[in-house]
Amino acid sequence: MMGNLAQLERELLARGYGGRLLADEPLSRHTSFAIGGPADLFIVAREPEELCELFRVARSLDVPVTVLGAGTNVLVADAGVRGLVIVSDCRRFSMDGSGLLSAQSGAPLRQLALESAGRGWAGLEWAVGIPGTVGGAVAGNAGAYGGCMAEVVRWVRWLHPERGLEQVDVGELAYGYRTSCIKREPRRERRPVVLEAALQLTPGDAQELSCKVDALTAQRKLRTPEGRCAGSVFKRTERYPAGLLIEQAGLKGQRIGGAEVSTKHANFVMNVGGASAADVKALIELIQERVWVAFGERLEPEIEFVGQW
């Protein structure tokens, strides 16, 4: 692949991406865990058209492509990611008079929640504490406090690796708990890349919605640890919240290397200093084993493992 990488680098420089295209960029600089080895090639896409061009050129040269957003909800391997890593910084959004909110993949979910509530549109208040972006939220059916993306998504525009640009209705996403047809595809290189999503909101009272957003923000601050982490590590089981099982297994404060189970909320693993991806993965596996032995419950990771494992 090295020859193809060199060819890709030359091609992208010829297309005017010089100064933005980085080689061997540490992905620890681009993840909320502050963990992750180097990307062979790395670039930030500012517009959907750029993202599409970068994706297509790399694919034409058989160079693998990994697309990231805010770098939340992922654990990048210490060995890094082969091929081209694109971070979507496409942040524009707009809302029409019917409450249809159209947002590019890099738009921060929290900003959309605040903006829509302030304008008197309901449906995204639950997202005020979620640090990710629209693209990841669409793919993973992000949710909190009883709400989720499946309830508001109307359509998605994506770049399919085989079929090209498509607009698909929400039904085609085959949503489930914290998953979709995108996330169910185990090979990331075969997943469609979300470019834009339309969310249908409903009329509400701006003052009441803003008060609700403030209350949820305060609640999240009380319950959620601050620091370097990737959000909730595990999905809830059919019967129990993952954090409850982890806490009752006596794992709060459990540590491997620089990775530690939060003492504030047991479903968070923190990078408390110098943690490697291997530390975090080993701690995740220890939690799964202890919870299974104690309660017979299998914990499924909500975070995704990205890169060369």
- What is the model's pLDDT at position 79? 98
pLDDT tens-digit series, residues 77-88: 999 999 999 999
| Sequence-ordered list of residues with C-beta below 8 angstroms from that of 18, at least 6 positions apart, any chain | none
- Which of 88, 105, 116, 232 is labelled catalytic? 232
| pLDDT mean across residues, the chain | 97
Domain 93-223, classified CATH 3.30.465.10, yes or no: yes
pLDDT tens-digit series, residues 213-224: 999 999 999 999
Contact between residue 132 and residue 70 where contact means Cβ atoms under 8 Å apart: yes
Torsion of CA 8, 22, 32, 300, to 10 degrees: 20
CA distance 36 to 133: 19
- What is the model's pLDDT at position 187? 87
Q: How confident is the model at residue 1 (pLDDT cuts 50, 70, 90)?
A: low
Examine the residue annotation and report whether 196 is marked as an active-site residue of this protein. Answer: no
Examine the residue annotation and report whether 232 is marked as an active-site residue of this protein. Answer: yes
Beta strand 81-88 pairing with 255-256: unpaired
- What is the model's pLDDT at position 210? 95
In this prediction, what percent of the chain has a pLDDT beyond 90? 96
Lowest mean per-residue pLDDT among 2-16, 73-87, 110-124: 2-16
Tokens 């995204």 sit on residue: 124
Q: How confident is the model at residue 188 (pLDDT cuts 50, 70, 90)?
A: confident
CA distance 255 to 259: 6
CATH number of 242-306: 3.90.78.10
Examine the residue annotation and report whether 302 is marked as an active-site residue of this protein. Answer: yes
CA distance 59 to 293: 44
pLDDT tens-digit series, residues 35-61: 999 999 999 999 999 999 999 999 999
Beta strand 81-88 pairing with 38-45: parallel
Fold of 2-88: 3.30.43
- pTM attached to this predicted model: 0.94
Residue 277: CB atoms within 10 A of its CB come to 26
Where, residue-wise, is CATH 3.90.78.10 in the chain?
Answer: 242-306
What is the average pLDDT across 230-255?
98
Q: How confident is the model at residue 2 (pLDDT cuts 50, 70, 90)?
A: low
What is the average pLDDT across 58-76?
96
- Which of 9, 28, 116, 178 is labelled catalytic? 178
Burial class (CB in 10 A: 0-12, 13-18, 19+), 190: exposed
pLDDT tens-digit series, residues 266-293: 999 999 999 999 999 999 999 999 999 9
| Signed CA dihedral, 10, 11, 14, 18: sign only | negative
Where, residue-wise, is CATH 3.30.465.10 in the chain?
Answer: 93-223
Query: H/E/C letters for each residue in the chain?
Result: CHHHHHHHHHHHHHCCCCCCCEEEEEHHHHCCCCCCCEEEEEEEECCHHHHHHHHHHHHHCCCCEEEECCCCCEEECCCCEEEEEEEECCCCEEECCCCEEEEECCCEHHHHHHHHHHCCEECCHHHHHCCCEHHHHHHHCCEECCEEHHHCEEEEEEEECCCEEEEEEHHHHCCECCECHHHHCCCHHHCCEEEEEEEECEECCHHHHHHHHHHHHHHHHHHCCCCCCCCCCECCCCCCCHHHHHHHCCCCCCEECCEEECCCCCCCEEECCCCCHHHHHHHHHHHHHHHHHHHCCCCCECCEEECCC
pLDDT tens-digit series, residues 7-24: 999 999 999 999 999 999
- Which of 9, 196, 260, 302 is labelled catalytic? 302
Burial class (CB in 10 A: 0-12, 13-18, 19+), 247: middle
Q: Give which of 88, 265, 262, 73 is closest to 178, Cα–Cα.
A: 73
